[in-house]
């Protein structure tokens, strides 16, 4: 299975995971120059920007560790752009999902709600 196929599979399962918990998917793969958000979802309270990291079992770097300060900044910048283009009264939130995939099968989904915030970045929501 190619990396982009693994990534798409991981995103599909996270979308299902969110839908099962009452979220609606607003957008997928929202891109601006220099940044992308894998999934944008919402419920009654939050507009959620989700970074999905798909990994093989035993990977040296976890999906959570892969979302470093630089990556967070790119996601926050893209989220700010999305909010300007799609105004909402919902509170923005940044989550990370790690999906473990082997041989085309999802073994697990680990999900961190409110994994980080915009502290230290020059973006206001």
Domain count, the chain: 1
Query: Which residues constitute the domain of residue 16?
Result: 3-116
Residue 123 lies in a domain: no
Instruction: Give the position of tokens 């892969």.
Output: 66
pLDDT in tens, 30-82: 999 989 999 999 999 999 999 999 999 988 999 999 999 999 999 999 999 99
Residue 119 confidence (pLDDT): 86
Q: Is the dihedral of CA 7, 9, 57, 96 positive or negative?
A: positive
**Count of other CB atoms within 10 angstroms of residue 74:** 17
The token duo for 113 is 């709600």
pTM of the model: 0.93
> Tell me, what CATH number does 96's domain have?
3.40.1350.10
Residue 1 confidence (pLDDT): 65
Residue 32 lies in a domain: yes
């Amino acid at each position: 299975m190619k990396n982009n196929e693994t990534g798409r599979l991981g995103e599909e399962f996270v979308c299902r995971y969110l839908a099962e918990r009452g979220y609606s998917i607003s957008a997928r793969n929202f891109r601006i120059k220099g940044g992308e958000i894998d999934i944008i979802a919402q419920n009654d309270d939050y507009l959620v920007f989700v970074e999905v990291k798909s990994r093989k079992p035993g990977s040296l770097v976890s999906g959570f560790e892969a979302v470093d300060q630089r990556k967070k900044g790119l996601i926050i910048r893209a989220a700010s752009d999305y909010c300007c283009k799609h105004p909402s009264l919902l509170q923005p939130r940044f989550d990370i999902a790690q999906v473990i995939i082997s041989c085309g099968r999802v073994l697990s989904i680990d999900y961190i709600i409110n994994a980080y915030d915009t502290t230290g970045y020059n973006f206001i929501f």
